[in-house]
Structures are given as structure tokens and as C-alpha cells.
Amino acid sequence: MARRRRRQSRMRNTNPDRLALLGPAAGPMGRCPPQPPKYLSNLVVRKCFRFVSTGGADGTAYTISPAKLCSLIVIATSSTNVIQVFEAVQVVSIRMWSSADQSSGVFLPRTVSAEFSGTAAGIYGPQAKASDMSVGSTHVGKIMIRPPRGSQASQWQSGSTSSPPLLFTITAGTGAVLDLTVNLTVTGDARSSNNSITVNGPANVGQVYWLALDNNAGGNLSTANVWSPMPELITIT
């Protein structure tokens, strides 16, 4: 009896706005708020993308723009053209792990680093940098970095492919792993320009593709397609 009273009390105290956001409730206890609650109509998601470096000597630097991040998921419109799904991006964190190099018969140090320079137009702000290196065969280099709080690098950036600015630089060699956590949005704005990327193809029209981190968005900064998505995803360069 006491448990039933507590359960009924919790149901009476449930915020009707919360119920509305969760969706319609089954049974006689479902409630509808007296007026429509606040509602975000456009799409905003948080996603961790994982990439593996498939080439490049130790110490190779890759420069990444907001346009490249908004182009990580695209839709093909022709055999050699794709368009971005997302329109703006906000970097949450970067995590990296180096590989181990035994090419010379001994384990050589491998470096990983990431930097928010804060020197590009539209991304001005304090610099933040982290780096580490592998030691022998048992310790890989590993880092985690976030854009400085209050900096423009930590704010929402446009994915426009027209003159995309430098957002961050990563440095690593073959076999390094990178986890990039970002917030992405699709606005309600009409956008038909500065959102397309040329690919080698052949792409199938209407197919969704996952691009490399250093993709060809904007034809600016790094475009080697070295940082590949996971192999179970459908990719194109």
C-alpha cells in the first residue's frame, strides 16, 4: 500500500512539459500540457567520429577546417559531387593515440599532438596544444584536448566550403587513432551553395557516404584523405 501511494505521488508530481517531450504516454495516466512546450525544430546532434591514419611519416601535420567537419557525412548528387549533411560544427574534444614503430628493429618513439592555434580569421583566441609520444612497445602516446573555454574555436563555426579557416592541426604518423567529438547542426535555413565537395568517385546518387577527416571540402588545408573512417562505413575519396 505504501509503495502504491509513493508511485501515485511521483506520477502526480511529474512535469507535464517533460511528459510532452518524451512523447505520448500509454494508458489513462497520459497527460497533455496546457500549452505546447518549447521545442527545437532543427537537428542538433553530438557524435564521436573515429579515424585511423593510413599513411604519413611520424610528425606529419594535418590542418583541419570547420568545412571538413561538416562534410564527414555527405550525400551524393552526381558521380563526382557530394553535399554536406551538416551546416555548422562545434568541437567538444580530441583524443589521439599513437602507434608503435618497430620498422628499424627497435621501437622508436611515435608522436601525437593536436593544437588549436587561435590565429585564423574567425577562430582568433588563446592557443591550446597537447602532445605525447610512445615509449617502447608498452606505452603509446595519448592526448586529450578541448578548445579553450570562451575561445572562438569552442564556438559554433560555419561549414561553408568557401575559404574555410584553420580550426585545428593534428600531428601523427601511420597507425595513429583519433576520436573527434563534435556537436553538429542542420538549420532551418535554405542553403544551396558553398556546401558541395568534389570527389574522385564514382559515387551513387542519393547514397550517404562517410568522408575522411582530411577530406577535400573547400579544397583548402589538408586534402590527402589519410585519416580514414571505420572500415565498416561506406566511404569515398
| Minimum mean pLDDT range among 23-27, 163-167, 196-200 | 23-27
- pLDDT reported for residue 106: 73
| Residue whose C-alpha cell is 563555426 | 157
- pLDDT reported for residue 119: 79
pLDDT in tens, 63-109: 999 999 999 999 999 999 999 999 999 999 999 999 887 676 678 88
Q: Where are the beta strands (DSSP E) in the chain?
A: 43-53, 60-64, 73-78, 81-84, 88-97, 111-116, 128-133, 142-145, 157-158, 168-172, 177-186, 196-198, 208-210, 227-228
State the span(s) of the chain assigned CATH 2.60.120.220.
43-228
Tell me: pLDDT of 236 over 60: yes
pLDDT in tens, 99-134: 887 676 678 889 999 999 887 777 887 889 999 999
The alpha carbon of 134 is separated from its chain's Cα centroid by a whole number of angstroms, namely 25
- pLDDT reported for residue 138: 77
CB atoms within 10 A of CB 128: 19
Read off the pLDDT of each residue in 201-228 and give the average, rounded to a whole number: 96
The CATH homologous superfamily to which domain 43-228 belongs is: Satellite virus coat domain (2.60.120.220)
Give residue 145's identity as a one-letter amino acid code: I
Phi, psi of 90 (to 5 degrees): -135, 120
- pLDDT reported for residue 19: 46
Pairing of strands 128-133, 177-186: unpaired
- pLDDT reported for residue 20: 47
| Contact status, residue 185 vs residue 43, Cβ threshold 8 Å | yes
3-state secondary structure of 19: helix
pLDDT in tens, 132-142: 999 877 789 99
| Residue whose C-alpha cell is 589521439 | 96
- pLDDT reported for residue 24: 52
